[in-house]
Structure 1
Amino acid sequence: MNEAGAFARTLAPLLGALGLLALSACARPEGVLVPVAVGDSPGTRVDMLVATTRAATDASGVVFTGERGDGLAFTDVAVSVPPNRPVGSIQWPSGPNGDPAREFVVTRLEPLPRTDIVSWFKARHGQKRRALVFVHGFNTRFDASVFGYAQFIADTDASLVPVLFSWPSRGRVTDYVYDRESANFSRSDLAYVLTAAAASPKVDEVVVMAHSMGAWLAVEALRQMALKNGRVPAKITNVVLASPDLDIDVFERQVQELGPNRPKITIFVSRNDKALGLSRFLAGQVTRVGAVDLNDPQYAARLERARDITVVDLTALQGGDALNHSVFATQQDIVGLIGTRLAGGQDMGEEQGLVARVGGGVGAAVGTVAAAPILVFSGGRN
């Protein structure tokens, strides 16, 4: 086969992934973030604190756009999640006046001054002392970030305080570079949110979870905190990176600069992640962390040198989204597993329930989730 043919064969699955991303975004109506009275609806209510660097808008039901704002804004948001739906699914409202019996709707959406953040934690969550700060990924509108996080919280039922950091993504697959720069634009603000959460007397522990391009933003914010203060705050105990769109060489350097007193890191990867295949193509064929092949000796060697990093390969799992890019939130067994671990304050890579760790610094095992083999590598521990 000539070079043109080989290039076409390489490009074909990437164009397919691009098409799937575009179709998923087009299927969603806009202007649906209009508060709806739910009455005695049997659905689950998710109260979350939303911090965003997006530009505000007066457009009804949109609230924040994909453009970059002048500063960091906080919003008190409540979402009603309908009952009797498949785990991992979002029932989008058909319009501004959604039906809470069968669709996701917002029931409260109020601006919140920075000075009221501590009061928000106290008033909304009583004795809950653990916060989960989530950072969404590429190609995500504001409404999708809110409903997506509400779905994850409702399905995991982990009883953590939900904090969403929503950065300026335009929600268009053609704006990959813009989104990437918007993630860079937002890292100081995410560092502020993480610092404020860790400093709150109402919070004992902070878990950071980031998806796709949001992983770059999350690790950069933590790195910035470590370089500025000498370490990441001790209350930030765990960082979970789901399908991280991160250059593997850059990530290795970032981890080094987090210092010795960094949080434990768990990474969910999949070799058949079609979205990360597209990212790899755009990034000059450099492997993305979320798509590493754990059977490749070079990655095993690099992991062996890493302390307190666990990589969980979900390639063999079936179900979830068509791109295999959001398995952590859409695959029923994994959602349940994550929820159990978060609720119990456990590390994602602990042996019981997920794997029986083999050997010393680096181990491989067969997991029990959906009777599928889950390959797990764990870096050495001091």
Structure 2
Amino acid sequence: MESRAGFSFRLIAAVTALAVLAGCAGRPEGVLVPTQTQAAHTSKIDVLVATTRRPSETPGTLFSGERGKELQITEIGVSIPPDSAREIGQVQWPSRLPANPAKEFTTVSVTPMTVQRAEGWLKQHLRKSRRVLVFVHGFNNRYEDAVYRFAQIVHDSKTDVAPVLFTWPSRGSVFAYNYDKESTNYSREALEDMLRRLAREPNVSEVTVMAHSMGSWLTVEALRQMAIRDGRVAPKIQNVILASPDLDVDVFSRQLAEIGEKRPHFTLFVSRDDRALSLSRRISGNIDRLGQVDPSVEPYRSEFEKAGIVVLDLTALKTGDRLNHGKFAESPEVVRLIGNRLIAGQAVNDSHVGLGERLGAVAVGTAQTVGSVAGVAVSAPIAIFDPTTRRTYNEQVDRLGNAVGNTVTTAVGQ
């Protein structure tokens, strides 16, 4: 049996390694100081930011990682450089200040708001769909990290929503895991109240909540509280997207049961090579983390099917994220999928991630393609496990297999 000292040493070594990998050395501080510098062909994303963080006295930081006494609301305008000057899925952080808007993300406006002014902002920024997207960031995020990342997701996904960010007190350090986890508990009532206000707004048609990592715990807890308090989750909250959820699978199962049957539609992004969740799993008693499970094996396959949860397995997808923890935001294919399908509550099938082209290629192949049909889903960069479309997909594969078999039989006969 491993000694406590041995475990502690290996844990510290693992955390240190992650700190090196996830470090943001070289970033200037104070990136949220607004600049008047402009550049041609840039895009401006206005984000309504609600936070339970304590205000910071450092210019351009706005809010620290400590816990505030009340919810603070701010509108922040972020300028994003032209697509020709950036890689989709990446945040181009300033190398120095003032930032170069032609090549880097730049803050162009910061406007503190009251709740009443925020309601007015929402009415002005609702798009034709009248949808709202709420983003809840994960562990080890500073205020500016969350703002710029969400602005990138909104821009790259080209989604038709009013963007609202909820940022909770994270110290932005891999050594503050327990502090961050308690900060999510500290913030769940504030998130619940904000979601209820959005759902009660007459001009809003529906709300999608997207949470990353530890933010998934906060999100599901807030929805659970709402369901217990109000008898159900507000009907306008129709979709919940959990990306790399840092959630104990047993706890998630209990949360779903307590939310009840009248719950939003859940979509999960998982990746078995998520290094951050591997560490979280070890810290949390070696219980599987929801964002790292294999949805194709039992008991998860049956449990997801029973709950009607769609799972997108990103394990085979490669991005520049060395921890494999932020694939949902860094992959152009995934952010487009979020904007085009998931936020609108539409079904996602294999054709939306390139499988349609693969199936077509097999269908017109030769005898050498026989037997390859079963491996199509495995070889795809994004594997989809959707209980509502699995039957259709299986029928398509069966028909494809029959078509290939008939083609081969005819060819052999000739």
Specify if TM > 0.5: yes
After superposition, the Cα gap between the structure-2 partners of 1:367 and 1:78, relative to the gap in structure 1 and judged at 3 Å, is farther
Question: 1:333 aligns to what?
Answer: 333
Question: 2:400 aligns to what?
Answer: none
Question: 1:76 aligns to what?
Answer: 75
Q: Secondary structure at the match of 2:277?
A: helix
Give 1:346 deviation, angstroms.
3.6
Aligned-residue CA RMSD (Å): 2.6
Alignment of 1:268-283 (within 5 A): 268-283=269-284
Q: Secondary structure at the match of 2:178?
A: helix
Asked whether the 8 Å contact 1:75–1:109 carries over to 2, the reply is: yes
Question: 1:324 aligns to what?
Answer: 324
Question: 1:360 aligns to what?
Answer: none
Asked whether the 8 Å contact 1:20–1:323 carries over to 2, the reply is: no
Give 1:28 deviation, angstroms.
2.5
Give 1:298 deviation, angstroms.
2.0
Are 1:377 and 2:385 an aligned pair? yes
TM-score (norm 1): 0.89
Q: May I ask how many residue pairs the two structures share in their alignment?
A: 368
Q: Secondary structure at the match of 2:299?
A: helix
Q: Distance in 1 between matches of 2:73 and 2:387?
A: 37
The letter of the residue matching 1:322 is R
Asked whether the 8 Å contact 2:73–2:115 carries over to 1, the reply is: yes
Question: 2:57 aligns to what?
Answer: 58
Alignment of 1:100-249 (within 5 A): 100-125=101-126, 127-249=128-250
State which drifts further: 256-265 or 331-340: 331-340
Question: 2:297 aligns to what?
Answer: 296
The letter of the residue matching 1:88 is G
Give 1:254 deviation, angstroms.
0.4
Give 1:336 deviation, angstroms.
2.0
Q: Distance in 2 between matches of 1:201 and 1:97?
A: 41
Asked whether the 8 Å contact 2:26–2:95 carries over to 1, the reply is: no
The letter of the residue matching 1:375 is A
What percent identity do the matched residue pairs reach?
A: 47
The letter of the residue matching 2:315 is T
Find runs of 4+ consecutive structure 1 residues off by over 3 angstroms: 6-17, 19-22, 38-41, 124-128, 346-352, 364-368, 378-381
Asked whether the 8 Å contact 2:127–2:162 carries over to 1, the reply is: no
Asked whether the 8 Å contact 1:64–1:142 carries over to 2, the reply is: yes
TM-score (norm 2): 0.82
Larger Cα-atom Rg: 2
Deviations 1:290-331 (A, max 9, x none): 00022432222322332x211111101122411110000001
Q: Distance in 2 between matches of 1:111 and 1:330?
A: 30
Give 1:17 deviation, angstroms.
5.0
Greater percentage in helix: 2
State which drifts further: 294-303 or 27-36: 294-303
Q: Secondary structure at the match of 2:103?
A: coil
List alignment gaps of at least 5 residues for structure 2: 357-373, 390-414
Question: 1:99 aligns to what?
Answer: 100
List alignment gaps of at least 5 residues for structure 1: 357-363
Q: Secondary structure at the match of 2:125?
A: helix
Give 1:31 deviation, angstroms.
1.3
